[in-house]
Structure 1
Amino acid sequence: HAVLPPTAALTVAPGRFPALRTLVVAGEACPPELVERWAPRVRLLNAYGPTEGTVCATMTGPLSAGDEVTIGRPLPGLDAHVLDNELRQAPVGEIGELFIAGPGLARGYLNRPAMTAERFVANPFGAPGARMFRTGDLASRRSDGQLLFHGRADDQVKLRGFRIELGEVEAALGRHPQVAQAVAVLRTDHGAPQLAAYAVPIEGAAPTPAELREHMLRSLPDFMVPAVYSTLAALPLSPNGKVDRAALPAPGVLPRTGRREPSTPAEKALCEIFCELFESASIGVDSSFFELGGTSILAIFFIQRAQEAGLDFSPRDVIDNPTIEALAAIAAARSDG
């Protein structure tokens, strides 16, 4: 038997451990790719729970490949409530904050009464004096009683005036058929903040940033679509086996060799437009609109400026051919035609 964080379990092949009979994953959201890989080989269980639930609070039965991944039902000695902002039970299928209650709950935080009072609150569904723990996690309940995990309630960033749940972005990217693991973060590597996505492809796959972006555009509203995409062989891990977000590499800033200056009128015009849109960036013919932080909204301004320079592009042109070199080639081909 073994208990591992999902990220750690994805770094090893099931065939390396023929004696393993039961694998419990906990500590992070369990991606479908992990179930596809491990469920045919072992008895795979997905567990959930904050330390304050001493230690797991819910657990699934054995998972099967292709099933929707849940966090199961409460363990004996614990109850789970999905509540709205008024601490009322959320209807089946609706997302609310997950609260843990029951005799298995911890007493509180040692010598931290203020923090204990904030997180361990009165339980309106229990006996007088009973308490429940506010997990800070989002969940929903299926009609069969199984719980679905939807990320952290405080895993939220603000970008261009919009509040974005990073867990929703990661879940959408994780649904790409060639993605095994996905992480989204807000970065400021190029000065202005931008949403960056990191994907670990399934074995043998190599999705391009354009393909990942197209998938996200079909799944999310524009303001939630990451500007840059990086594929990694593996996600960096902290000592406890969870994703180390602080160790993720800066996206789109790998050194490029042989960067050439613009040589055609179209390349020169496009470089000037890029310099206007991305003032703090170093622009070359190989510069990519989306790697520099371009968004669908900014693409509209780019297309307008290009039209003023006598270059006609569609939004599809920008998505499929985001570099100055590729866009200039399109302009040249249309001019010749």
Structure 2
Amino acid sequence: MPAVSAFKRRLDPLFLVTVVVPTLCAIIYFGFIASDVYVSESEFVVRSPDKPASTGLGVLLKTAGFSNAGDEIYAAHAFVRSRDALHALNKNGAFAKAYGSNDISMFDRFNGFGWRNSFEDLFDYYQKKVGIEHDTSSSITTLTVRAFTPAEALRVNTQLLELSEALVNRLNDRGRKDLVQFASDEVASAEQADRSAALALATFRNQQGIIDPERQATVQLQMISKLQDELIGARLQLLQLRAMAPTNPQIPILQVRINGLAREIDAQLGQVAGNRRSLSATAARYQRLQLEREFADKRLAAAMTSLQDARSEARRKQAYVERIAQPSRPDRAEEPRRLRGIFATFVLGLVAWGILTMLLAGVREHHA
């Protein structure tokens, strides 16, 4: 006992505080208090048919016609670390109950000391138990979940992976619907305009009794030309008869024919031009209506082409979650690393004791 008393007197209080006490606390915590932590991992990639492939695994995926979908990857990452994901996991308080069980040490479980029970506190705790990392070279995303039972680690990992897949599918559906809906609306508008233009043209034709003013004017001008030829011939014949046989009974008949031809020519010219119902008066309106109809037809054709392109583009932009490794069910606890924790505490204590000892020695020399 005298030897023990002498050892206690020689024991440096600073060494006791910085090395012995922390090491004993570490032995007690890691040896008897700390709960086993089981780690479940899964790996997946998000890929799309029309985006350029990267190196490594991306080249292999490109051989199947697929490549990495960067936007969807970042969306999945943000979702896993979000409050929405925690809300889904904590339905009916499942997550809080699993991680707040009395079987877990009070230092490791959620709300172990009873004063942090809000959702934000649970979210802070959740972010410490769930991790997601993205390897830019291979485009593989690794999802890691830490829990205090193998079954719970597997459940949370599986559910988060399913939620990420559902998110990517929702983004696909929303993007595809928006893209196709815009093109469909344009087709509907073009169809309505085309119907209105066709109806306006048909109404004009019914009201005016004209199919095509320009073509009908061409036909009437040809008819007028023939009538004028006949009129010229009849007048020449009349001049010849008057010169050779002034009393010829054919002269009155030719005169009547000439007058009739002149009246018919005037009537035909009036239909072509000269009054409000003439072909020239209606041609301008007809041309405007015809141009509107042609423009509406071209617009409709372009809109239908755009709709087909939008549907093809929507199919090409479809993103997929491909699981590389299914969520694992751990068969042994990977954390905490008890011996390493005790040893690290001992080493850090020695370092702290050495630094403080030198500082105190310098202070004593300075005062001396």
Higher strand residue share:
1
Q: Tell me if both proteins adopt one fold, taking TM over 0.5 as the criterion.
A: no
TM-score (norm 2): 0.18
Greater relative contact order (CA < 8 Å, ≥ 6 in sequence): 2
